[in-house]
Structure 1
C-alpha cells in the first residue's frame, strides 16, 4: 500500500466524499462553490499524476513542498470565507493533523529523514497497491451518484420526514465511504508488511494516524471491520494509537477533490 502517492490518491477519494456529504450544503455564496475549492487547491493534483514517482530525496520534496504549503493556505482561506464559523472550526480541526504532517515533511529534520529512509522500499510496491486502489476506486465510483445527489420531493408536506430521509442518505453515504476505505486498508496492509517489513509498516501507521485521526474520530468511529462486514471483527476506528492500521485519510489533500473528480 505504502507508495505514498497512492496513499494520497486514496486520501483524495475518501476525504472529498466525506467533505461533499458533510459540507457542500453549508457554503455561503456562489464564489464559494465546490468548483472554486477545487481550483483553489488543484496544484496538488500533481501528487496523483499517474507517471509520478515517489519523492525519495530532498530535492523532490523541495519541488513539491511550495505547492503543498500554498494549497494549505488556500484551503484555510476558503474555509474562512465560505463557511459559517462553527463549520469552519470543525473543518479546521479535522484538517489539523494533516497540516502538521506537511509542516514536518517539508522541513529538514528528523521526521523528514525518517520518511526518506523508508521511501525506497515503498516505491517498489506501487503495482501491488494499485490493484488495491483500483478496487477501491470502483467502489467509490458506484457510490458517487447515490451519495451526493439527494433530491427533495417537492410534493412532500412532512418537512421533518424529508429531513430525516436526507440525513439517513447522508449517514449511509458516510458509512459506505468509511467501509470502502476499510477494505482498501485491509488489502494494502498486506503489501507493506510483505515487501517492507515491520519498521516501514510502523512508520506508515504513525504517519497515517497523525494525518487522519481527527477526521476518522469525527466521521468513522462507528464503522470498524465488524460494522463493515469484514472478517476478523475488531473495535471501530480507534481515537489515537500507533498500532492502529485503519486510520488513513488525508494529506494536504484533505480538502481537495478526489482523484476521481479531477479526472
Structure 2
C-alpha cells in the first residue's frame, strides 16, 4: 500500500529535462512504466498479492522496478536532484526490505493492501495523487525557481494529508483500524530525510500556511483540493515523472534556497 505514496513521494516525469546521453533517453522511456508498477493504485500488469506466495513474487517485481528508477537517477539527473531522488530510493529500498524479508511483515502488508483490491472504491485516493501531480506541474511552470523547493515541500504536505484522510475514509470499512497509521508510518519513513534536507522551516502544512507567499500558497492549495477545478491539465501519469521534471529545476536554484530557510 505503501508505494502508493512513496510515491507520494517523491517529495516520487514526458517533459523531463535530462542528460542528452542516449542511455538516458531509454531510461526515460522506462521511468513512467516503472513508476506505475511501484505505485500499485492503477497498475493492471502487477496484480495486488493475496497470499504469501504471491507476495514473494510481488516483492521481486518491486525491487526490479526500483532498480529501474535508481538506474535513471544514477545516469541522468543533475547533482542536487540526484541527491534528493537518491534519498527517496534509499529509503524506499529499506521499506521494501522491511515489507518483504520477514513473514510477519509480509502478512501485515497483505492485511492492509486488501483495501486496494476494491478498485471501484479508490477514486478519492487516486484524486489525491492526481491533484499532487497537478501541483508539481503548476510549480514547474509557474513558480520562480527560488521558491520551487519550498512550494513542492508544501504540496507534499497537503498531499500527505489528503492521502491520510482518504485512506481512512476508503479503507477503514474494508481493513479496519490500523491501515491509516500503517500508511502514515511508511510516508514518514520515506519522506523524512528528504524533507529535512530540502524543506528548511517548511516541515508541516501549518508552516506553509504561515510562511509561504500567499499568492503561491492560495493557488497551490486550490490545486491540491481539485486540480481540474483549478484549471490545471494533468500531463504526467505518475508522481515519479512529475518530480523528475521539477527536481531538475532545483539544480539552478539550490544555492539561493538558503535565503528562504
Q: Distance in 2 between matches of 1:149 and 1:10?
A: 23
- Pairwise CA distance, 1:38: 4.8
1:98 aligns with 2:77: no
- Contact 2:9 2:156 survives alignment (8 Å): yes
1:186 aligns with 2:165: yes
2:3 corresponds in structure 1 to 8
- Pairwise CA distance, 1:192: 4.2
1:39 corresponds in structure 2 to 30
Does the C-alpha gap of structure 1 residues 197 and 172 become closer, same or farther in structure 2, counting only changes over 3 Å?
same
1:166 corresponds in structure 2 to 145
Q: Distance in 2 between matches of 1:138 and 1:29?
A: 29
Q: TM-score scaled to structure 1, two decimals?
A: 0.59
> Aligned pair count?
211
Say which one has the larger Rg: 1
2:241 corresponds in structure 1 to 257
Q: What pairs up with 1:1-263 in 2 under 5 angstroms?
A: 4=1, 8-12=3-7, 14-15=9-10, 18=11, 27-31=18-22, 36-40=27-31, 42-43=33-34, 45-46=36-37, 47-49=40-42, 54-84=48-78, 88-120=82-114, 122-123=115-116, 127-134=120-127, 136-137=128-129, 139-140=131-132, 142-149=134-141, 165-193=144-172, 195-219=174-198, 222-227=202-207, 256-257=240-241
Q: Show structure 2 runs of 5+ residues with no match.
A: 211-237, 246-261
- Pairwise CA distance, 1:99: 0.4
- Pairwise CA distance, 1:14: 4.2
Does the C-alpha gap of structure 1 residues 124 and 30 become closer, same or farther in structure 2, counting only changes over 3 Å?
closer
Q: TM-score scaled to structure 2, two decimals?
A: 0.59
The root-mean-square deviation of aligned C-alpha atoms, in Å, is 4.1
- Contact 1:95 1:215 survives alignment (8 Å): no
Q: Distance in 2 between matches of 1:173 and 1:181?
A: 12
- Contact 1:140 1:177 survives alignment (8 Å): yes
Q: Distance in 2 between matches of 1:36 and 1:217?
A: 29
Does the C-alpha gap of structure 1 residues 146 and 91 become closer, same or farther in structure 2, counting only changes over 3 Å?
closer
- Contact 2:202 2:208 survives alignment (8 Å): no
1:248 corresponds in structure 2 to none
